[in-house]
Amino acid sequence: MSTSEEARKEQPSTYFVQDRENQSEFDRLRVQDQMVTRGMGGVLPEQPDPEKLRRVLDVGCGTGGWLLEVAKEYPTIETLIGVDVSAKMLAYARSQAEEQGVGTRVEFHVMDALRMLEFPTGYFSLVNARFSVSYLRTWDWPKFVSELARVTRRGGVVRLTECGWWKGNSEVLVRLGALAWQAGFNAGHVFVKEDEDSLMERLPELLQRQGIRDIQTRDYELVLPKGTPEGESYREDVRYGFRVLLPFFHKWVGVLNDYEQLYQQMLEETARPDFVGRWRLRTVWGSAPGWQTSEHFV
């Protein structure tokens, strides 16, 4: 499909970042993908035999960072597909796939996961979705997880990773993180006001309600000190993040007259030698009930 055709298909987005074609958001996602994957110990650290997978889908793939790392780490995986509502993000992802030498194995398609995933039932051996809170509202989750399960083969893996808010030993960072969660609650993305764990705690139930079995959970707390590569990536993530989120804040919590002052203070505090960032993540996965397809594959 051509870029112009994809652009015509593109649907309105519920993504946190209203200007999702902003270069700063592309840069933030690239930095964040690398930082999170390193912090979690790899792309699929909890899966016992990733090299046996044949078809992998990444839903809401953004700029494609996670999927490209999967392609490079597991060359035996035949087909890797990423879908996102943003044609421009996917154009960037394709360019990165070519540069990184995996363009023949990785595909990217414009698709609105809030509607349906345009793939055959039982097609994938693993379906991944990371940080879907950025575009899913609380009422979207049942249909979303149902679609993930539908396109996963029987016994294949449905895998979700979600997060709490950005934290660290910076009072202003904590304050801005809480503001982000408040805006998310007002917009319908967060289940419980002022409770960053509310979505992570619901993930097993959200999977179970769609018939997904053998559900397992792994928690992570990323510790990201200033002066380390991980700490520098974290500071870049929050630096970009609290800039591109400003229109979202204006829409869902109102105009913040002192925001620029707070933003600059956050940059100063996160640049201090003793700054340590912290970020909680949870991965939940299980086996899809699925349908038996005519072709057996892992």
Q: At what angle do helices 246-253 and 171-186 cross, to 10 degrees?
A: 60
What is the DSSP pairing of strand 124-130 with strand 152-163? parallel
- Show Cβ contacts of residue 181 under 8 Å, excluding neighbours closer than 6 positions: 165, 190, 194, 196
On the question of pLDDT at 296 being above 80, the answer is: no
Question: Which tokens sit at 255?
Answer: 């105009």
**By the 8 A CB rule, do 270 and 193 touch?**
no
Give the span between the Cα atoms of 270 and 287, in whole angstroms: 41
On the question of pLDDT at 123 being above 60, the answer is: yes
What is the DSSP pairing of strand 276-287 with strand 213-225? antiparallel
For 162, phi then psi, to 5°, come to -130, 175
Percent of the chain with pLDDT over 70: 91
Give the span between the Cα atoms of 66 and 43, in whole angstroms: 7
Mean pLDDT along residues 288-296:
57
Give per-residue pLDDT as tens, 225-279: 999 999 999 999 999 999 989 999 999 999 789 999 999 999 999 999 999 999 9
Give per-residue pLDDT as tens, 149-158: 999 999 999 9
Predicted confidence at residue 292, as pLDDT, reads 46
pTM exceeding the 0.85 threshold for the entire prediction: yes
What is the DSSP pairing of strand 124-130 with strand 106-110? unpaired
Residue 254 region by backbone torsions, left for phi larger than 0, else alpha for psi between -120 and 50, else beta: left
Give per-residue pLDDT as tens, 184-238: 999 999 999 888 889 999 999 999 999 999 999 999 999 999 999 999 999 999 9
- The residues facing 61 across adjacent strands are none
Which domains, ranges and CATH numbers included, belong to the chain? 3-166+194-224+282-287 (3.40.50.150)
Question: Which tokens sit at 267?
Answer: 């940059």
For 119, phi then psi, to 5°, come to -135, 155
Give per-residue pLDDT as tens, 13-60: 688 776 666 778 888 888 999 999 999 999 999 999 999 999 999 999
Gyration radius (Cα) of the chain, Å = 19
Amino acid at site 193: K
Give the span between the Cα atoms of 220 and 111, in whole angstroms: 30
Predicted confidence at residue 75, as pLDDT, reads 95
Give the span between the Cα atoms of 94 and 68, in whole angstroms: 10
- The residues facing 224 across adjacent strands are 277
Predicted confidence at residue 196, as pLDDT, reads 83
Give the span between the Cα atoms of 282 and 31, in whole angstroms: 19
Q: Which ranges constitute the DSSP H helices of the chain?
A: 3-9, 23-39, 65-73, 87-99, 141-150, 171-186, 198-208, 229-244, 246-253, 259-270
On the question of pLDDT at 11 being above 50, the answer is: no
For 44, phi then psi, to 5°, come to -140, 60
Smallest CA-to-CA distance from 167 within 154, 179, 157 is with: 179
